[in-house]
Amino acid sequence: MTDLEPVAVLGTGAMGGVVARAFAAAGHPTTAWNRTPQRLADLVAADPAVRPAGTPVAAVEGATVVVLAVFDVAAVHDLLDALGDAVAGATVVNLTSTTPETTRALAARVGEGYLDGAAMSGTRHVGDAAALFLYAGDPVTFAAAESVLRALGTARHVGTDPGAASLWDTALLAVILGAVAGFHHAAALVGDPAARMAEVAVGHLPFVAGVLTQHAVQIDAGRYPVDDGSVAVFAGAVDQLIATSVARGVATDLPDALRAVLDRAITAGHADDGLASVAEVLR
């Protein structure tokens, strides 16, 4: 017997499937439902610790945490129609992708107990701390559910506004895509096996992390010392990146975009400020 809280997962696609398995692996009595029964049957065959339910209402019976992981927000509304008041008193965690606006409408519909979530690591690593999940909504509701949600990975509460998880999700995508696009460009430029570039670049990431932390302090203070080079110096470095790319036949779309942002900062009078001053011309 386990005394861990019972949970329910509605929707056992790529995301809901790994979420159900992670809850079950952590020892939570886990019940799952899926619209297409065969998909649920496949999941239960792979992990008999997940109990199948024939309807959404049957799945959530007794669950303190109910996770919704379906295709889109319209499907979430369909599910809420089917659930009626069966989730009253439970924490409803929506992992389905939404926008801040559609999330607020969902939160208003569910009322007390709604948390919005964003799976930042896709389906990878779900069940260990390397998987990052962002949550938004009432902090007291989050605190009460946190020990359960930790079964999925690292759980971070990013705001009381239920739309915050979706906003942060999209914003963090800019960080991830910036790093990934930069890596693709670097690998194309060097032309060696990309694995070599990955090895060296990944080893350099702690430095990049330090830069982000330092820039955050500068942006929050509105002061941009030139410790690591001015905007003008970085504009010169990007020009060099563009010239080197052209010489090797590598597309310059990415460094061109960087140069355009630096130009905007220079026009606004930040040529002799630190690189973080670019933040001033982005909004």
Binding residues for ligand NAP, rule: CB under 6 A, are: 11-16, 34-36, 39, 69-72, 75, 78-79, 95-97, 119, 122-123
Residue closer to ligand NAP, measured from CB, 46 or 260: 46
CB nearer to ligand NAP: pick between 102 and 218: 102
Residue whose CB is nearest to ligand NAP in the complex, by number: 13
3-state secondary structure string, the chain?
CCCCCCEEEECCCHHHHHHHHHHHHCCCCEEEECCCHHHHHHHHHHCCCEEECCCHHHHHCCCCEEEECCCCHHHHHHHHHHHHHHHCCCEEEECCCCCHHHHHHHHHHHCCCEEEEEECCCCCCCCCCCCEEEEEECHHHHHHHHHHHCCCCEEEEEECCCCHHHHHHHHHHHHHHHHHHHHHHHHHHHCCCHHHHHHHHHHHHHHHHHHHHHHHHHHHHCCCCCCCCEHHHHHHHHHHHHHHHHHCCCCCHHHHHHHHHHHHHHHCCCCCCEHHHHHHHCC
Closest to ligand NAP by CB, 17 or 255:
17
Q: Least distance from C-beta 209 to ligand NAP, angstroms?
A: 23
Nearer to ligand NAP, 15 or 107 (CB): 15
- Closest distance of CB 38 from ligand NAP, Å: 8
Q: Which is nearer to ligand NAP, 10 or 262 (CB)?
A: 10
Closest CB 135 distance from ligand NAP, rounded Å: 13
Shortest distance, CB of residue 112 to ligand NAP, whole angstroms? 23
The nearest distance, CB 87 to ligand NAP, in angstroms, is 15
